[in-house]
Structure 1
Amino acid sequence: MLFFVWDQLMVSIVTLLLVLLLHSIFGWYKKFAECKNAALQFPCLPKHWFWGNLEELRSPDGFLSYTRKMMERQCQTFCCWFSFLYPGIYIAHPDAVKTLIRSAEPKPMVAPGYVFVYPWLGNGLLLSTGKKWERNRRLLTPAFHFDILKSYIPIYNSATDKLISKFSAATEENCVVDVIRPFSFATLDIMLRCSLSYTEDIQDKENHHPYVTAVTTIGDLLAKRLVNVFHYSDWIYRLSADGRKFHEMCKVIHEFSDSIIHARQETLKANPDMMKGKKRLDFLDILVTARDSDGVGLSNLEIRNEVDTFMFEGHDTTACSLSWMLYAMAANPDEQENVYNELQNVLQNRTEVTWDDLSELRYLTACLKESIRLFTTVPIISRRLTRPFEIDGKVIPAEMTVSINIYAMHHNPDIWSEPEEFRPSRFLSDDQSPKNPYMYIPFSAGPRNCIGQNFAMHEMKVMMAKIIQRFEISADPTYQPEPIPEMVLRSRTGIRVKLKRRKR
């Protein structure tokens, strides 16, 4: 009798588990079919039944090539399939972008998406959502007040002076300079000094500092993972050589951040009144001392997540923007001359750029904006729908990933005349802004716009002003950049220019 009851119980448990499994499979298939049918409403390039468009994405310029072909077909919204399982919707027109970007829809923490960078950046401002995002955004906003940003100008100047000395050595050798790595160290130097009051000389450690190497390596690994559908699974990826390398690089970055955070906390413990004597609080000061209305501060992990997020977004993106700007100046010598003449007029042979100078450098600002449009630093941002959305008259269901293809929108011929041409005059209207606020969104827009965009623009203006004032930049006729879309827009062949000292 006991065995009979046991057998009946086991049969009931197994039956229940099978019912739950079938219910889960049915629910997944229903949602998959719903998303697939929604994706089929939008045009895409010819795709393989299993691989989708992955073969197209594996080409040298990958998604940029796909985007250009869709723009040639005048597709304002289109689909791209990362195998038959993962369709993605991409928007390339401001009228369609507006509805989505003004919402508070979260980042897609599913494959393929921002979930890939979660082991690196954690639940910081870039990836968090809901109440946590609102709280952290509120706590961090004081770090970007104009009074604080103004105090960073001397740091921008001194870091650029060190970069210029490196460039000067290259001009003496009369060689072509690949500027992306020097810019990476210069912007990292600025980030560390402004946000963490870190005084170690980063720029003198070029080719040796583990942080920059780790960030660059992670970018390469993420680009490879995106086109390998088998690596969408975390446990498979962890077992792979690329996965092990990725987590090794994350560890390098985390140890670097933890060491700085721990040192600051120990200093505060030894000197609790240290903050009272500081003329300005840096980013880390605000993170360590921030408290919400209940008096609760950020945990050590939360602090590290925000430091890692801010360090990446504040140094790698800026370095890429500056590198492409220098290339644009080399490729457009007449525009470079216009910038130089403006600098001569505003700076009057001063080599130190001041806070008041920034608003006077209108032509430099226009060139910088146009360079960021043409070489879109962050090509794509994505959202995970929490409710059905209507885009271009088509309903997209909840739980589907929709991406704003900023690169496509910045090159859309229906929005920009001659979009492949470098024309700073686009940004020289009276208000220095496009007519449609969503046609140019290099720092995103809406509630989740980039909190550090003013920091970045001020930094880039100072750096470019000092470099163009000092050097004549020219193109290498044997060189052609090959843009590739990783987390930021890089070039597979580097970004190379010739630098010649100006006669003063």
Structure 2
Amino acid sequence: MYMSYTSKLNYSIISTNNNGHQKMNTIIILEWYIITLLVGMLLAFIVYYKWNRRHLELLAAKLPGPETLPVFGNLFYFLGITNEDFIYKIAEVGQEYRKEAVVRYWLGPYLVIGIYKHEHLEATCCNPRVIDKSALFSFFQSRSKGAFTLSGEVWKRQRKTVNKMFLGNVMENYVKVFNEQSLMLVEHLKKKTGLGTFDVSHSLMRCTLEVICRTSLGVNMNLIEDNNVTFPEDVSRSSEIILERMYKPWLYPSFIFKMTKTGKEMFRHIDRIHQFTITVIKRRRQILKERKTMHKDTEENGFHNHGNKDEDKFEAAPYIDSFLDCDIEKNVDDHELALEALDVIIGGMDTSAVSDSYVLIMLGIYKNWQDKVHREIDELFGNSDRYVTVDDLGHLTNLEMVIKEVLRLYSAPHTLRLLTEDVKLDKFTLPAGAIIYLSFYLLHRDEDYWSNPHEFYPNHFLPENISSRPKHSFLPFSIGPRGCPGLRYGMASMKVLLTNILRKFKVECDLKFEEMKHKPGLMLELVGGYPIRLIPRQPFIYHDSCND
């Protein structure tokens, strides 16, 4: 009996163990099956991915460029570098491949091809089939969705709207606004004389923002004395963060970026940018509503408006009003309108203010050029207080040379395009799907075109030197379908503002050109700000006996 019980117990234990082993074996088999399936799916995806990219990778292998690592490509080039280091790193690699004038990078799975020779930039920028911005520009779209960031049909529609700002004979009306705002700026700057060194960009940003609010949005915001408006600082810092994100692919996924300290900071800046822009839009909407009511009351009382036609034409503000018309038709909310309008606001404010700041810095360092500019201004205006006119702009030749030299050195250092088809550049074929890195920074420092490429040398823009260079060796406003439509507007605004400042002040700056450090933003920004001192002056009236 005991033996029988023991036998049954052993059998039960053996049976249980066998069942356990069978279950364990089943689980192991299932796990291996799942792993094999996942590995097979991964391999199938890689084969499919590589097969679809075979044309891209085949042509990329024929392009010159630095050594790459599997999967990571050339990411190690940018690990640990600051935003300030980035532009110099790109320049270093560009110089290394100077003979080929084309250089290939892999940023993870993204093929980026850098070009900077004038003929290559012309062939790319002027190609009507190469107008799409890289997918990396989507990083800007949380801030704005206008003509700067978008592609396709939406871009074409918005570009037509932007172009309306610069059609017809409107420059005289714009110049009037440039004068009014710059003279208000001069009164503001008078308070800073005798107080030592200050960052002039703070005041210039508010002035140029006020100008763009009046000329493109039809609204007077009275910003020059308003320190509560942080829009300029928010734009500058958010641009810096967005551009830094572009060469850090580990920050590409939005859910990762939003969790980072930098991502949270960027969205705080963007929220304030949107709030300001919505305020401007609401103010313009109210102006139009009041004007419509006034016009209706006038007609009902039998009166007609015979006001200043030029002022009426200017106040039409075709840019923002075109968006407001769409708002009525499509019921677009203020936030969407803000996203669409912001590219013009930011472009008109940032580029002009940074350029003006650099001009004052350079004139403070290079006193010989400040003397030349002061002399031509004094000869043109004497001790009069009259406005700068459109005709005056053509006589400010020394000032124009200084502005252009600043733009050569510090305009937008680069931009990106997406190739939707193969493009032939000399002996190289750039494949569809590649991102083209257009380096204006290297173009404007190419010793083949510039006698003093790394110096501040306004004589680069003497007529004889201009004629000796290729046509598209100077591209501060880019060219082609994506070129900036506001070239005349931008140059005129800078000339008027700087002329009115320099009529009243001398400029001093303690910086040394060779020690200045820069970082990429929408322009090539000066690290540490734009420190100058202003000294009140009276114009010197030159007589014939004083002439050289």
Q: TM-score range by the shorter chain?
A: 0.7 to 0.9
| Structure 1 vs Structure 2 CA RMSD | 3.2
Match of 1:101 among 121, 125, 150: 125
- The answer to whether the 8 Å contact 1:57/1:66 transfers is no
* SS of residue matched to 2:191: helix
Counterpart Cα distance in 2 of 1:114 and 1:296:
29
What does residue 378 of structure 1 align with?
412
Q: C-alpha offsets along residues 340-385 of structure 1, whole Å, 9 cap, x if unaligned?
A: 111112223334212221122122112111111022x211011100
1:204 maps to 2:228: no
Q: C-alpha offsets along residues 35-82 of structure 1, whole Å, 9 cap, x if unaligned?
A: 455445444456666333113743743223431453366346343646
Counterpart Cα distance in 2 of 1:282 and 1:431:
39
Counterpart Cα distance in 1 of 2:104 and 2:357:
29
Match of 1:117 among 140, 143, 149: 140
1:468 maps to 2:502: yes
1:249 maps to 2:273: no
State the 1:299 CA deviation.
Answer: 4.4
What does residue 341 of structure 1 align with?
375
What does residue 191 of structure 1 align with?
212
Match of 2:113 among 73, 79, 89: 89
State the 1:289 CA deviation.
Answer: 6.0
- The answer to whether the 8 Å contact 1:156/1:459 transfers is yes
What does residue 388 of structure 2 align with?
353
* SS of residue matched to 2:225: helix
- The answer to whether the 8 Å contact 1:481/1:494 transfers is no
State the 1:192 CA deviation.
Answer: 1.3
State the 1:336 CA deviation.
Answer: 1.7
* SS of residue matched to 1:151: helix
* SS of residue matched to 1:204: coil
* SS of residue matched to 1:318: helix
Q: C-alpha offsets along residues 137-159 of structure 1, whole Å, 9 cap, x if unaligned?
A: 22332221252232022221222
- The answer to whether the 8 Å contact 1:57/1:63 transfers is no
What does residue 500 of structure 1 align with?
535
Q: Which has the larger displacement, 435-444 or 397-406?
A: 435-444
- The answer to whether the 8 Å contact 2:134/2:417 transfers is no
State the 1:408 CA deviation.
Answer: 0.6
What does residue 360 of structure 2 align with?
326
Structure 1 segment 29-428 matched on structure 2, within 5 A: 29-31=50-52, 34-36=55-57, 38-44=59-65, 50=72, 51-55=75-79, 57-58=81-82, 60-68=84-92, 70-71=94-95, 74-75=98-99, 77-79=101-103, 81=105, 83-104=107-128, 105-110=130-135, 113-122=136-145, 124-173=146-195, 175-206=196-227, 208-269=228-289, 271-272=291-292, 278-280=312-314, 281-288=316-323, 299-300=332-333, 303-351=337-385, 352-375=387-410, 377-428=411-462
State the 1:29 CA deviation.
Answer: 2.9
State the 1:249 CA deviation.
Answer: 2.2
* SS of residue matched to 2:415: strand
* SS of residue matched to 1:370: helix
AA in 2 matched with 1:199:
N
What does residue 32 of structure 2 align with?
none
Q: C-alpha offsets along residues 284-306 of structure 1, whole Å, 9 cap, x if unaligned?
A: 45424668xxx978945664333
State the 1:17 CA deviation.
Answer: 11
Q: Which has the larger displacement, 60-69 or 238-247?
A: 60-69
What does residue 12 of structure 2 align with?
none
What does residue 487 of structure 1 align with?
522
State the 1:25 CA deviation.
Answer: 4.3
Counterpart Cα distance in 2 of 1:17 and 1:212:
51
The size of the alignment, in residue pairs, is 481
AA in 2 matched with 1:74:
R
What does residue 5 of structure 1 align with?
none
Counterpart Cα distance in 1 of 2:360 and 2:168:
27
Counterpart Cα distance in 2 of 1:497 and 1:87:
43
State the 1:435 CA deviation.
Answer: 4.1
Q: C-alpha offsets along residues 443-502 of structure 1, whole Å, 9 cap, x if unaligned?
A: 110111112222111100101112222222233057943111123211222122232222
From the superposition, tell whether residues 229 and 17 of structure 1 become closer, same or farther in structure 2 (CA, over 3 Å). Answer: closer
Q: C-alpha offsets along residues 280-337 of structure 1, whole Å, 9 cap, x if unaligned?
A: 222445424668xxx9789456643331010111101111111111122122221221
* SS of residue matched to 2:519: strand
- The answer to whether the 8 Å contact 1:64/1:484 transfers is no
From the superposition, tell whether residues 395 and 125 of structure 1 become closer, same or farther in structure 2 (CA, over 3 Å). Answer: same
Counterpart Cα distance in 1 of 2:46 and 2:423:
25
State the 1:442 CA deviation.
Answer: 0.6
Q: Which runs of 5+ in 2 are unaligned?
A: 1-35, 296-304, 540-548
Q: C-alpha offsets along residues 411-443 of structure 1, whole Å, 9 cap, x if unaligned?
A: 011121121222223223179677422211111
- The answer to whether the 8 Å contact 1:140/1:287 transfers is no
From the superposition, tell whether residues 483 and 298 of structure 1 become closer, same or farther in structure 2 (CA, over 3 Å). Answer: farther
Counterpart Cα distance in 1 of 2:433 and 2:358:
36
- The answer to whether the 8 Å contact 2:281/2:338 transfers is yes
Q: Which runs of 5+ in 1 are unaligned?
A: 1-14
Counterpart Cα distance in 2 of 1:478 and 1:135:
45
AA in 2 matched with 1:470:
K
Counterpart Cα distance in 2 of 1:359 and 1:298:
45
From the superposition, tell whether residues 228 and 404 of structure 1 become closer, same or farther in structure 2 (CA, over 3 Å). Answer: closer
TM-score normalized by structure 2? Answer: 0.79
From the superposition, tell whether residues 118 and 288 of structure 1 become closer, same or farther in structure 2 (CA, over 3 Å). Answer: closer
What does residue 3 of structure 1 align with?
none
From the superposition, tell whether residues 198 and 228 of structure 1 become closer, same or farther in structure 2 (CA, over 3 Å). Answer: same
What does residue 451 of structure 1 align with?
485
TM-score normalized by structure 1? Answer: 0.85
State the 1:274 CA deviation.
Answer: 7.0
AA in 1 matched with 2:429:
V
Counterpart Cα distance in 2 of 1:298 and 1:380:
37
Q: Which has the larger displacement, 195-204 or 261-270?
A: 261-270
From the superposition, tell whether residues 243 and 36 of structure 1 become closer, same or farther in structure 2 (CA, over 3 Å). Answer: farther
Q: C-alpha offsets along residues 369-413 of structure 1, whole Å, 9 cap, x if unaligned?
A: 1111022x2110111001011224111111110021001100011
